[in-house]
Structure 1
């Protein structure tokens, strides 16, 4: 629907949308500008965590796991380098 309205800009307003930027570049006309708020949100999150003394000071490597209650294979296509566990609810 947005493309039918001839949008000029697409604002990504959620923290996980930047993962879609490569796909969006393929789908959107070349003149549509993508505005990614992710970096600004990350900086503000860091500021809040510092102000509340909740920011981890040690530079530990994060442990990342993805869980799904759908197809484990589909999720692995999006995040092939991370472990994926299927949850049966």
Structure 2
């Protein structure tokens, strides 16, 4: 089994209500900035803003962008989710 590309993973995460809740709580100003978008697109816009990328595809092409995703969103989301389940 191959590991999904990070851009695909980010897209899948945007579809999950728990991830959107995390993004809204962790980045309230950015979440508010995109209030005119539907929640899935809003989460994608916050990812692009936080990771400083024009497209989620950059997560697969730019190692620095991937690192920013993991440091600012991926790892913190996993910790947040574990804490919520505890």
TM-score class, shorter-chain normalisation, is under 0.3
Q: Which has the higher strand share?
A: 1
Q: Which has the higher helix share?
A: 2
When normalised by structure 2's length, the TM-score is: 0.24
The structure with higher relative contact order (CA 8 Å, sep 6+) is 2
| Higher radius of gyration, 1 or 2 | 1
